[in-house]
Amino acid sequence: MSINQLGVIGLGTMGANLARNAARNGAKVAVFNRTTEVMHDFVKEYGKEGMFVPCKTYEELVRSLDTPRAILLMVKAGSAVDAVLEDLLPHLSEGDIIIDGGNSHYPDTERRYAVLKERGIRFLGMGVSGGEEGALMGPSMMPGGDKSAWDDMKDLLEKMAADDGLGGKCVSYIGEGGSGHFVKMVHNGIEYGVMQLIAESYDIMKNLGGYSNKDLAETFAHWNEGDDLNSFLVEITAKIFTKADDQGGGELIDKIKDAAGQKGTGKWTTEAAMDLGVAIPTINAAVDARILSGDLKKREARSEDQFPVELDEHRPDIKPHRLRTQVRSALECSIICTHNQGFQLIEWGSDEYGWNINLAEVARIWRGGCIIRSKLLGKFQRACDPGTQAPEKEILDRFSGERQTDWRHVVRVASVNGIPIPAIGISLSYYDTIRRERLPQNLIQAQRDLFGAHTFERTDKAGTFHADWE
């Protein structure tokens, strides 16, 4: 069955634009908002775009839809979702579909999926990425949960989704339970990492290379033209440096406080990686950097007398044009590391929870619509496809030759000049760690065995051993 109608609860920016998107694609859309005035204003402004049915109550909304009904929740993640479900459920019938399109935590989605399944209600936890414009013009959508619900909603969701550039659409069934929201959570973790890497690249070029905002705009615009860094985030970065401050002179970027906010998905990604035992150091560094940036009062109170900076008088000279090329290499290599960490986390999560997630499909549906869309994802799509010959070579080749030496030079130059680059620096350490045949953790295991008899394994024979260190 193909369902071509949709109820939408929650007409904030994302909810309103998804409702308009569905209506523009031929669906009948029943709309409800807790504040009725918001619903009336929505219908008044956008009513000519499609078939909208204004609803003042959940009962009205349910009555306006044919069975099986499909209702999209676009409310704040957490207790608000549970509250809406509790009020909505008495009006639903067996076989109806509820889609949670917010940024819900995947364990909550797992719980709701199980509870609603017992009630005969089909549930999809669907990650949606693309921001305000994407929600209207075509987002990337990551639905997980009841497979039959996906089958019924597939046609409409594909019409609403962004194009993937390959003749397909940026939506695909992820797996059961909370898999869709898990994948969206990791998407946001990668987003944190890439944004921090871009910010560090900007910091180096501005404060060591002496680049003006005009220079930076031209640099990022040029980088966005290449296959290595072509992406939505690099594209918008170039635009940001051209924005004039309409409340004063100069560019707006220089008047924005250097304290980055977060809504929790980065923290959830870090927590999930810790629980699953997956190393995602670049993403963790990005989360930490936002936390540290928010400590404005303490940073402003710390003088150089309290925190002296000793710079090497023999530090290398900065050649701005050469530095730009080196930063480009460091940024590309670090972004690849960030994506690798994210895909590994999805793989481990899929194995742990039995979701059977297709990593190549995840890369494909991220190629359009979403915030981290980039040409790099095409390489990851091919690398994750088990049918591809030498799947990792296309990515591993990017770490060879001058790009890697440039990366190492950027880390050194930033360090000796007192410029913090937690994400670029840890990305290089991550790369050096995963390529090493032998790491110094043999010493840690020896220490654990000495003070706690935790045992160790040997390189020359099988088994578990304990030494009499005394």
Q: So which residues are the catalytic ones?
A: 184, 191
Residues sharing a CB contact under 8 Å with residue 74, sequence separation 6 or more, in sequence order: 8, 9, 10, 11, 12, 14, 15, 18, 101, 102
Provide the phi-psi class of 167: left if phi over 0, else alpha when psi is between -120 and 50, else beta.
left
Alpha carbon separation from 426 to 161, 283, 321, 360 (Å, rounded):
35, 10, 25, 26
Cβ atoms < 10 Å from Cβ of 79: 9
- Total number of residues shown for the chain: 470
Smallest Cα–Cα separation from 330: which of 395, 418, 223, 405?
405
Phi, psi dihedral angles at 449 (to 5 degrees): -70, -35
- Tell me the β-bridge partners of 244: 251
Smallest Cα–Cα separation from 166: which of 363, 386, 383?
363
What's the alpha-carbon Rg for the chain, to the nearest Å? 25
Q: Quick check: bond before 107 cis, omega within 30?
A: no
Using alpha carbons only, what angle is made at residue 341 by residues 354 and 426, rounded to the nearest 5 degrees?
150
Smallest Cα–Cα separation from 412: which of 400, 399, 401, 428?
428
d(CA 34, CA 46): 18
Does residue 198 contact residue 235 with C-beta atoms inside 8 Å?
A: no
Q: Could you say which DSSP state residue 49 is in?
A: G
Phi, psi dihedral angles at 70 (to 5 degrees): -125, 125
Does residue 7 contact residue 63 with C-beta atoms inside 8 Å?
A: no
Residues sharing a CB contact under 8 Å with residue 108, sequence separation 6 or more, in sequence order: 77, 78, 81, 178
Does residue 211 contact residue 205 with C-beta atoms inside 8 Å?
A: yes
